Chains A and B, each alone.
Chain A
Amino acid sequence: DTAVSQTPKYLVTQMGNDKSIKCEQNLGHDTMYWYKQDSKKFLKIMFSYNNKELIINETVPNRFSPKSPDKAHLNLHINSLELGDSAVYFCASTPGTPGSREQFFGPGTRLTVL
């Protein structure tokens, strides 16, 4: 069984469009994250939710809006996509509070904005 799953795996879209990426974890973890990995392979945290509550927002443009309908899901909606949004987006989860335990990552969503 996949522990942390993301859909879609690939997303190709035009500039200006709005798109969503979904994430689900079946590990019973309390905390979920979204990371962006750019072409330089640097993983940068975007958001963290603990029990559906936003606890980390790392100066991400407000075109990015996370939504956590329950603690097993954390979706990412992106408005007015820009070329610079092209990257691989990883969802992750961890038991307990952020930073206390190891994180489990999803397979990633490769977003290409044309």
Chain B
Amino acid sequence: KNQVEQSPQSLIILEGKNCTLQCNYTVSPFSNLRWYKQDTGRGPVSLTIMTFSENTKSNGRYTATLDADTKQSSLHITASQLSDSASYICVVSAQYAGNNRKLIWGLGTSLAVNP
């Protein structure tokens, strides 16, 4: 069964600290993995998208890693800011015959950055 599991469910850190969010998936056949940031009351915004051959991808203070062998991804946030408080969602795309793809969404990690 295709699943995406994220941990922790929620996290509280102090401003300026680093943190790492985890995403484990059992999606097959794998096409790509994305991380989205969703601020309260807004739609998700894409942070990174990685294919099978990409191990690391950065977007400013956000760095995503992908280990396709162990089917794990992480999102590392460096020098957190108050504006990083949001839900971070891992999404994995499965690719089937005929260029058909299906997106499997994780439940997200709720991050709160406190001053």
Contact = CB atoms under 8 A, between A and B. Distances in A.
A97 B87 CA distance: 26
28 contacts: A4-B43, A40-B107, A41-B87, A41-B107, A41-B108, A41-B110, A42-B107, A43-B89, A43-B105, A44-B105, A90-B43, A90-B44, A92-B43, A97-B99, A97-B100, A97-B101, A98-B101, A98-B102, A99-B32, A99-B93, A99-B94, A99-B101, A105-B44, A105-B45, A107-B42, A107-B43, A108-B41, A108-B43
Interface of B: 31-32, 34, 41-46, 49, 87, 89, 93-95, 99-103, 105, 107-108, 110
Nearest to A33: B103
B23 to A, nearest CB: 15
Given A4-B43, A43-B89, 17 more contacts: A40-B107, A41-B87, A42-B108, A43-B105, A90-B44, A92-B43, A97-B99, A99-B32, A100-B93, A101-B49, A102-B46, A102-B49, A105-B43, A105-B44, A107-B42, A108-B41, A108-B43
Contacts of A42: 105, 107-108
Contacts, number: 54
Q: Interface of chain A, helix or strand or loop or mixed?
A: loop
A103 interface: yes
Contact of B46 (A4, A90, A103, A108): A103
Give the bracket for the number of chain A residues in contact with chain B: 20 to 34
A54 interface: no
